[in-house]
Structure 1
């Protein structure tokens, strides 16, 4: 499967909450959550090397429509609601259209 839609998100946690934010984001890979969907072909959570409260998420989806449909679901909305309480400021998003890449899953 190929990613035809994707985005990067930069999330800044409240001071000292970066670890909790990472843990919460990683639940997105659990069965029934968005990252476990067959339509999510890339779900990468990373921490900034210089600030452990800055978290980067890279996602690749089979289509923008599939991403929006799955994120409108109950499981995704529950995670989003919890994320909001951990953030120091609004997330920053950059949408993109993947050209070519590789995953080694």
Structure 2
């Protein structure tokens, strides 16, 4: 009985890992613009958080803050923004131009 329960638990965890891997593969296909629009733009640019586009923020700082959070900004896990997406997003933010439609603190 114990073996059956352990086996079932192991299979459930393996299925979860496979699902997370597939999710990560899907998310890795998003462009920096798509990630910004779906993850970042809700707060940055709508007077919730500071405007980040057009400020030449260092890519390394963007990566660190996205993973670790800062002040009211939460940290985002690799299942939410993959490492590849984050690297591309950080470079995009660093090189981005300001959007006159965005407002922020």
TM-score normalised to structure 1 length: 0.29
Structure with the bigger RCO (C-alpha within 8 Å, sep 6+) is 1
The structure that is strand-richer by fraction is: 1
- Report the structure, 1 or 2, having the larger helix content: 2
Q: Which has the larger radius of gyration?
A: 2
